[in-house]
Structure formats: structure tokens, C-alpha cells
Amino acid sequence: MTKTRAYMDWNATAPLLPEAREAFLRVGLMEGNPSSVHREGRAVRAEIESARRRVAVALGAGPADVVFTSGATEAANLVLTPEFRMGRSALQFGTLYVSAIEHKAVFEGGRFARGDVVAVPVDRGGVVDLAALDAMLSAHDHSTGLPMVALMLANNETGVIQPVTQAARLVHAAGGVIVVDAVQASGRIAFDIATLDADFVIVSSHKIGGPKGAGALVARGEAMMPSALIQGGGQEKGHRSGTENAAAIAGFGAAAEVVVKDLDERAETVRKARDHIEARMREIAPELVIHGASGERLANTIFFSLPGLKSETGQIAFDLEGVALSAGSACSSGKVGESHVLKAMGLDPRMGALRISIGTSTTEQDIERTIAAFAKIVGRLTAPRAA
């Protein structure tokens, strides 16, 4: 079947994997409430627990350390709070340090007061400034509570990979806790919670080929946990009340198992496709700027600017040519905001930037359609205007 569109927006949502679809539909049709003790309830519970094990294995965590949520945004709001418990004792955090390029889900600071959230700068390559972080942690006022740091493993716009393990060393030396948003990195680069040296990791189902509506907060051991964001029936051991979204969770578990298999080989295939697209784009428009290309980046992402091409018009032009891509920072209204990531990198956020993000099922046809659309758009930009 000839496809009429090319979906090149995997960082927004990755297409549903067949294994996730199967689990999602099968569990969605099951009758029981997972908290019920009867056979129907237990059957749904078994599906959730199986998904929990799969997500845990994918991240090198224990199943008891996985709290299912409605997505990464909720997981961020659960963990980014000044109030924690460690056994029977309360634990207080004073300041949240977030990198200036965090996704809004994290950047907004969750349940911290706005004044207690401090942005850590990044360099022109889009990598967090560890010396600045170290200086901030050294100056942290412990009388207000412990320091908490949130640093993403890979940026959603540029794909730039962050030095999380080095940051974790600094954070732990300062007696703090580090939360890692691994939403874009999961299924794309190999990592586990222990090698990252993270205290908490946030992941999202729909970014790895699972259904929308599930995510998780994964802790490195259960010793220290945030106060609950949603209270009620005590599901998820009291960390997240409310009947679990069993179908989405089952699909999430299935996707988590698939994406960590042969990860390096799959990433290499994606990298070759990405490099090919970039090379062709550079041939068509030598003035092309690819953001974050100087450092280590996800193999699937191209965040680019072209003089004269605005984000919004570029996005629409590609859409009309049958190519779905994004400006990297679409808000819920669908409006294109200025990129705070570009701004943090010292660039003019008004310069248009567009993001192509691909994955393992991106076809040659998708790639050719995208390149043809790019050539057409560039042609229109450079064509002399009729008098």
C-alpha cells in the first residue's frame, strides 16, 4: 500500500508498536477492576504486574520501584515536590535546580513554589553547564531543605544527550537528589537507573511506541518517596490513587520490552537514515543550521533552522506536502511558541526551527517524501518574487 503521508514526529508521539496494540486491546476488553479480589479483578491485576516487571527490567529497576502514572507530566508533578517521606520521617527539599532546557513538564517545577525553582544554564551546544550546577549546589542553603536537581537524559527538541552521571556525582556530593527525565532517551539509548546514578527516572509510554495515557516514576529503591499527588483509594501503594489505566499500562509494558531489544543495532539503522536525511538537506540548502549537532545527540532527531523559514509556516508547508513534523515545542493549543531551548543555547528564539524525528519503522518512502518537500520549500524561499 502506498502511504500518502510521512510521519516524522516520533519525539511528539511514536507510532504504536504491534505488541503494544495487542496488549492494549486485549486488556482494554477485560472486565475486572484490578483492585477487586475476584478472578476477573485478579486477571487485570496480573496484567498490570506483568507490565510493571517489564518496565522495571527495561530500566534496570525492581518492580516495587515503579509507580504507574498517566504519563511523564504527572510523574514529574509527583516527584518534583519539597515534601518527601523516608520511612516514618519527613524529608524536606528547599530548592529545585532544573536545566534551562527541560521540557515544560519539568521546567515548571511541579509542586515547588516558583521562587524555589532555579534554572541551570546550558552551553551553545545545548549541554548543561556542570560547573554552574556545581557552583549552585555549593551555594545551596541547607537550612531550607535539601537540594533537588532535575536533568533530562536527552532533550526533546535537539536530541542532545546530557551528562547525567557526572551531574549525579555533584548532586550526591552536595547531599541532594537527582531526578532524570528519560522520556526521549528510553528505547533510543541504552541506560539503566544504576549506571545513571539517578534517584528517580521519569518515562512515558507514548514516546516508546506504547499507548498514550501511561507513564511511570521509577525510584532507585523505595526508601525515599514523594508525598502523593493524587490521594484516594491507595492504589500504587498509596503513591498514586485511582483505578489504574490497565489497558495503557499493559501496552506500555509490551512496548518497554520491545524497545530495549537489539537497541544498539536499531539505533544504528536509525542513525544512518538520519545522517542520510541531513546530508541531502545540506546539499539542497548549504545554509542549513542543525542545532546541537556538535555534540552527542539522539540518533533519530534533526532540529534545524533555515534563514527565512519561520517555524509555523514551515510546519504548515511540510504538512501540505504530506510530511508531519513539528517545531519541537508545540503547546497544547497547537500554537508554536518560541523555543526556550534555543534561547537557553544563546540563540534567537524567534529564528524558526523545525524538528524531524524518526524511528525504526521510518521507510525510504517517508525519507524521500520529506526530502522532496524540503527541496520544494527551499525552492519557494529562494525563488525571485514576481514583480
Question: Shortest Cβ distance from residue 328 to ligand PLP (Å)?
Answer: 9
Residue 90 C-beta: closest distance to ligand PLP, Å: 28
Please provide the distance, in angstroms rounded to a whole number, between the alpha carbons at the two ends of the chain: 44
User: Binders of ligand PLP among 95-124, rule CB under 6 A?
Assistant: 103, 105
Per-residue binding string, ligand PLP, 267-306, x by CB under 6 A, is ----------------------------------------
- Of the candidates 67, 44, 69, the residue with the CA atom closest to the CA atom of residue 250: 44
Residue 21 class from Cβ within 10 Å (0-12 exposed, 13-18 middle, 19+ buried)?
middle
Stretch that binds ligand PLP, among 26-34, 50-58, 181-189, 281-289 (CB under 6 A): 181-189
Q: How far apart, in whole angstroms, are the C-alpha atoms of residue 196 and residue 178? A: 10
**Closer Cβ to ligand PLP, 61 or 152, answer by number:** 152
Q: Which of 50, 158, 184, 329 binds ligand PLP (CB under 6 A)?
A: 184
Report the alpha-carbon distance of residue 259 to residue 241 in Å, rounded. 28
Q: Residue 16: how many CA atoms within 13 Å on its side-chain side?
A: 14
Owner of C-alpha cell 501503594: 237
Judged by CB under 6 A, the number of residues near ligand PLP is 12
Q: Which is nearer to ligand PLP, 177 or 183 (CB)?
A: 183
Please tell me which residue in 29, 90, 139, 331 is annotated as part of the active site.
331
Contact 220, 61 (CB under 8 A): yes
The residue whose Cβ lies closest to ligand PLP is: 71
DSSP state of 228: P
d(CA 48, CA 159): 31
Q: Which of 122, 146, 168, 183 binds ligand PLP (CB under 6 A)?
A: 183
Spatial CA neighbour of 198 closest among 221, 216, 174, 229? 221
Residue from 156, 300, 301, 326 that binds ligand PLP (CB under 6 A)?
156
| Of 152, 177, 217, 246, the one binding ligand PLP by CB under 6 A | 152
240 binds ligand PLP (CB under 6 A): no
Q: At what angle do helices 130-138 and 164-173 cross, to 10 degrees?
A: 10
Q: Which three cell numbers stand for residue 289?
A: 543550521
Task: Report the residue number, 71 or 352, with the smaller CB distance to ligand PLP.
Answer: 71
Candidates 174, 173, 255, 267; CA nearest to 213 is: 255
∠ CA(128), CA(131), CA(134), 5° rounding? 100
Nearest residue (CB) to ligand PLP, 326 versus 362: 326
CB of 282: closest distance to ligand PLP in angstroms?
26
Instruction: Give the Cα separation of 217 and 54 in Å (integer).
Output: 14
Decide if residue 310 touches ligand PLP (CB under 6 A).
Answer: no
For the four alpha carbons of 328, 332, 334 and 337, in that order, the dihedral sign comes to: negative
Near ligand PLP in 215-234, by CB under 6 A: 215
Q: How far is the CB of 371 from ligand PLP (least distance, A)?
A: 25
Question: x/- string (CB under 6 A) for ligand PLP, residues 52-91?
Answer: -------------------xxx------------------
Grid look-up 534561547 returns 343
In the residue annotation, 4 being an active-site residue is answered as no
Residues identified as active-site? 331
* Binding residues for ligand PLP (CB under 6 A): 71-73, 103, 105, 152, 156, 181, 183-184, 204, 215
